[in-house]
Amino acid sequence: MREIMDTLKALADENRLRALGALRGGELCVCQLVALLDLAPSTVSKHLTILRAARLVESRKEGRWMHYRLSKKCGTPSASKALALLFEDMQATSRIIEDQKKLRRICREDTDKLCRRLFGKP
């Protein structure tokens, strides 16, 4: 039951759905997600923690930066089905279309420079 509740909680927020939608295109650095969602790094981190708890995303550390991708084992089988249905419904929404355009611009930037700018680290 806990897994189901974690999944429902993870899917019950627009910004987490936007992050999942962005990760459909492949792995992203946390700074790219911060730039896309236009939220404070701590807020994005909290959203990603909730998504990880639901086993919807996986992470890896590269140097100082965290990278996220959709989980290959997406929680429960029901969670996988729900996510597939959500992605199908979301892909034509104006918000997701805008996010895809914005993400293309963000991904053209040098990731290291973007992370340094957003996180203020030398």
| Domains of the chain with bracketed CATH | 2-116 (1.10.10.10)
Q: What is the pLDDT of residue 6?
A: 82
Q: Where are the beta strands (DSSP E) in the chain?
A: 28-29, 57-62, 65-70
Instruction: Show the tokens assigned to 116.
Output: 């340094």
pLDDT 10s digits, 12-46? 999 999 999 999 999 999 999 999 999 999 999 99
Q: Is the pLDDT of residue 92 over 80?
A: yes
Mean pLDDT of the chain: 90
What single letter denotes the amino acid at residue 68? Y
CB atoms within 10 A of CB 122: 3
Q: What is the pLDDT of residue 95?
A: 93
pTM score = 0.90
pLDDT 10s digits, 45-74? 999 999 999 999 999 998 888 999 999 877
